Structure 1
Amino acid sequence: MPQTDRAPKIAILMATYNGGSFLSTQIESVLAQRRVDIRLVIADDGSTDGTAEYVKTLAERDPRVTLITAGSGGSAPKNFMRLALHADLRDAEAVGFVDQDDIWLADKLDQQWQLLQQHEAVSSDVLAMFPDRDPVPLVKSQPQRRFDFLFESAGPGCTFLLHRDAFDRITDAVRAHPSLSDIAAHDWLFYAAARVLGISWHISDVPTMMYRQHSENVTGANMGVAPRAKRFKQLTNGDFRAQCAVVGRIAVDIAADDYDDSELLVNLTGALERQHMGANWLLSKHAGEFRRRARDRRILRSLIATGLF
């Protein structure tokens, strides 16, 4: 992946649904990216607030913007996967995702393109942006763990940028999987697929965007009492475990032939799918390899040990 002086061609995929007052600001920040040749591909999922009409008008006057109108997603993850699997990427050299309600820093893509000269996929820390207080760093760049992909993504999917070859390898691998419609997050799936396919992934500690926090976030910074209570409920009512199992099952089925941990991955996925003493013992044994942040490892280990997970 040699560096050149010309602007790299980058395709960015955006899933929209009732984008409201935040959408235009986000799109402006994407189209204003420096030193890249950008193409923004948008799939709207039946908006009723004028979002689709706004994007259609924008696409008619700006050739860098394309609106996909056929089909539907039904949720943000499904809409993003519709884009990932079916968007016309033409001659894009790298592909990324963008949410409809954030603000990208002006050098996000240029900075990440430079990282793609040494890695096949990158993501980053962000600055969580609130309506009533200063931005707060949201760190996702802790050292990667052996099986972190079973339990978390590589940070917010809106920070992802993948070299085109890596993106195509992932989409080709997952395209026909029968559990694809069960995934809870497209970014989590992409990270897991990359890890078992041997695609090198770097999580940068340099924030690349303002991650807007508001009442309609599909996912968010998990900060404050209410978000943490919601997260704890998911951890203890079986929802999160089931999501991990789906990711694990897809990862098992698509793992590269030379993936070193195939046997253990099969066993861990089986343990996630069955809740009994033996399964929890295996998960507890490897709990230190499931999360990047030390606090998250401690919490998960405790929940597994007490039978709450």
Structure 2
Amino acid sequence: MAIECKTKIAILMATYNGEEYVGEQLDSILNQTFKDWTLYVHDDGSSDGTMGVVKRYASQYPNKIVVIDGPSTGGAKTNFFYLMNEVVADYIMFSDQDDFWLPQKIEKTYKKCLELEDSHTDEPIAIFTDLKVVDKDLNVLSEKMSSYQTLKMDNTDINKLMIQNVVTGCTMMINRICRDMSLKCKDYNRVIMHDWWCALVASYFGRIGYVGESLIEYRQHGDNSVGAKNINSIGYIGNKLSKINDIKESLIATEDQIDLFAKTYYINNTLLNEYARLNEKGKISRCIFRIKNHIWKSGFTRNVGLLIFG
């Protein structure tokens, strides 16, 4: 039986061996200007002192922090899906264990969500924000990840979103309709990440809103499940060129995810169905299909790679 959150917003935090930074993240959430939230934490089998830190905070703030005991799920993606299944709330936010939320993150994200719901009632809604990219000591590397990674944050239409996700999970808020629809998925192995799936649901069936402020410090420390890379750096380009097969496999994974998406929601859509089978076409046919349907990633470098290797 899922937990019914008594506050307006449920924050879901997936933890794993995050002892070094989780206390700072918990402090940043506790210091939010908006207070009508409850934080739910599920650990994925940490071998360090992560849960000692979390339980100490939970005992100090029993009305704000809830520890969910449950089995190890095997990774951040499945841990967040597990939490989504375990908690029901009007609005859900996702929290990584190692970031730092700026004080108005919840307030401004929630305000944007309400604005979008006013004009789009009974639809799945997802809101996301920009991020400050910081090092392990919270020194700023870039004021906006959109600039650092050359991301077009308005690439949220389905034809753009199915090949690249610009909606970063740790900045997201989804409404209950989006949560309920997202949980219709039963094959997490074919989902690339939980945030990407939720964004696809909101894009296709509802609306995605963007707050153009950096409301979170996105810590880069070498152990991130997903990190921020400077795609214009020589190191990044060289690394990608040395892993051409990885590029091809990542593209096939996006096609498989869309195949699952269409089947999960019984969608008969030519664009989605053809994209799901794109790997069966020859290289020239794939290029023509992408050009015809404006299926591009953010940034010149990525799209050059897409033309050459896709």
Q: What TM-score do you get using the length of structure 1 for normalisation?
A: 0.83
Q: What per-residue deviation string (whole Å, max 9, x for no partner) do you get for residues 53-74 of structure 1?
A: 2222322332211112211111
1:37 maps to what in 2? 36
Distance 1:250 1:244 in 2: 10
Indicate conservation of the 8 Å contact 1:12/1:96, yes or no.
yes
**5+ long unaligned stretches in structure 2:** 1-6, 117-124
2:263 maps to 1:253: yes
Name the residue aligned to 1:4.
Answer: none
Secondary structure of the structure 2 residue equivalent to 1:207: strand
Cα pair distance change 1:161/1:66, threshold 3 Å: same
Alpha-carbon spacing, 1:233–1:69, altered in 2? closer, same or farther (3 Å): farther
CA 1:131–1:24: 2 relative to 1, 3 Å: closer
SS at match of 2:277: helix
d(CA) in 2 for partners of 1:94 and 1:243?
A: 29
> Does structure 1 residue 263 correspond to structure 2 residue 263?
no
- Alignment match, 1:70: 70
Partners of 1:37 and 1:74 in 2: CA distance: 31
Measure how far apart 1:25 and its partner are.
Answer: 0.3
Give the unaligned 5+ runs of structure 1: 1-7
| CA–CA distance in structure 2, aligned partners of residues 160 and 232 of structure 1 | 32
What residue is the counterpart of 2:213 in the other structure?
206
Residue identity matched to 2:130: D
Aligned equivalents of 2:260 and 2:285: distance in 1? 19
TM-score normalized with structure 2 length? 0.83
Q: Which residue of 1 aligns with 2:192?
A: 184
Q: How many residues align structurally? A: 286
| Alignment match, 1:195 | 203
For the structure 1 residues 158 and 14, does the alpha-carbon distance in structure 2 shift closer, same or farther, using more than 3 Å as the test?
same
1:65 aligned partner, one-letter code? I
**1:81-140 Cα shifts (integer Å, max 9, x gaps):** 11122x233xx3210101111100100010011101222220011110025853302114
In structure 2, distance between residues paired with 1:231 and 1:20: 32
SS in 1 for 2:270: helix
**Aligned counterpart for 2:114 among listed residues 112, 117, 126:** 117
Q: Deviations over 1:28-56 (max 9, x none)?
A: 11122112311111110110111122222
Q: 1: distance between equivalents of 2:69 and 2:158? A: 40
- Number of the residue aligned with 1:99: 96
- RMSD of equivalent CA atoms: 2.5
